[in-house]
Structure 1
Amino acid sequence: MEKTGLLIEIVNVAVYSMLGIALMMLGNYLIDLIVPCHFPTEIRKGNQAVGWLSAGSFIGIGMILRTAIMSPAVQEAEASLAVGILDSAVYFVLGILFFMLGYLAILLMNKRYNLNEEIGRGNVAAGIMVFGIFVGLALVISGVIS
């Protein structure tokens, strides 16, 4: 690989890494808006349910962004960095939207217990369930992207 190509790859890694970090943090913040507990406070208290939920959010967003970046359509078009960033942002928005809709759908369909309260109480099973919802949705969205 020539020096110019290597430099371009390094810039791409840096840009997409920073974008990924920023979007994962934004996604976690947005999800925090629909779950009525303050994530940073709950994490400090050792609330494992919120930890699982946050982990599912980060992993799911990372999966979606990875697939968007590696999409054959983007590679075949030899898209510019700006186009790749725009595509990643669009898929991020779709992912977060569907994460939120999936969470809200579970809230509406489930009448046996209040998922919000269970997560707020630190019910690990509730957190793992939401983790699974987010990762499952990320797999579906990633499948559509590729």
Structure 2
Amino acid sequence: MEQFWQNEYIQIAAYYSVVVLFLVLSLAVFELVTKYDNWEEIKKGNMAVAMATGGKILGIANIFRYAILEHNSVLSMIGWGVYGFALLLCGYFIFEFLTPKFNVDQEIEKGNMAVGFISMVISIGLSFIIGSGI
């Protein structure tokens, strides 16, 4: 059985499957913490929401990229990926906290592309910092 898990094709399929599943789960978590319906807003053409959501997707994928590169097992990759996601989620709350003059979620829901863009860049930027620590 050990030889099965050492096959590169099996490892790639395992990493891929786990990351796609976790991406879906983490987007569900972000859906719970935002005050708007991400997919409904994207369906309406809200580019601010699309940019913010896209940044989260890229950020999560980037964190898992680092986790895959730096750790030898799927379980280790999952552990570090979950930790990285928790840090990214904290970054989301810090961004909301550090902007007391306006509500980030409300601005993104209204279609404020500047806030959506900054949210995207923060998610992507933090993912590089988090990933390098993993």
TM-score (norm 1): 0.81
What pairs up with 1:20-59 in 2 under 5 angstroms? 20-59=19-58
Query: Deviation per CA, 1:18-55, whole angstroms, max 9, x where unpaired?
Result: 11111111111111111111111111111111111111
Equivalent in the alignment of 2:66: 67
2:7 match: secondary structure: helix
| 2:124 is aligned with 1:135 | yes
Counterparts of 1:1-146 in structure 2, within 5 Å, are 8-71=7-70, 74=71, 79=72, 84-145=73-134
Report deviation, 1:129: 0.9
Give the share of equivalent positions with the same residue, in percent.
27
TM-score (norm 2): 0.88
Q: Structure 1: give runs of 5+ residues left out of the alignment.
A: none
* Residue range with higher mean Cα deviation, 114-123 or 95-104: 95-104
Return the alpha-carbon distance in structure 2 between the equivalents of residues 48 and 144 of structure 1.
Answer: 31
- Return the index of the structure with the highest Cα Rg: 1
- For 1:54-74, what per-residue CA distance to the aligned partner results, in whole angstroms no more than 9, with x for missing partners? 111111111111111111xx3
- Aligned alpha-carbon RMSD (Å): 1.8
How many residue pairs align between the two structures? 131
Which piece of structure 1 moves more, 43-52 or 94-103?
A: 94-103
Cα distance in 2 for residues equivalent to 1:133 and 1:44? 23
Aligned residues of 1:24 and 1:57 also touching (Cα < 8 A): no
Tell me the distance in 2 between the aligned counterparts of 1:109 and 1:61: 22
Letter of the structure 2 residue corresponding to residue 17 of structure 1: Y
* Stretch moving more, 22-31 or 94-103: 94-103
Q: Distance in 1 between matches of 2:49 and 2:84?
A: 19
SS of residue matched to 2:101: coil
* 1:34–1:100 CA contact under 8 A, matched in 2: no
**1:77-103: CA deviation from partner (whole Å, max 9, x where unpaired):** xx4xxxx22222222222222222112
Q: Which residue identity is paired with 2:77? A: S
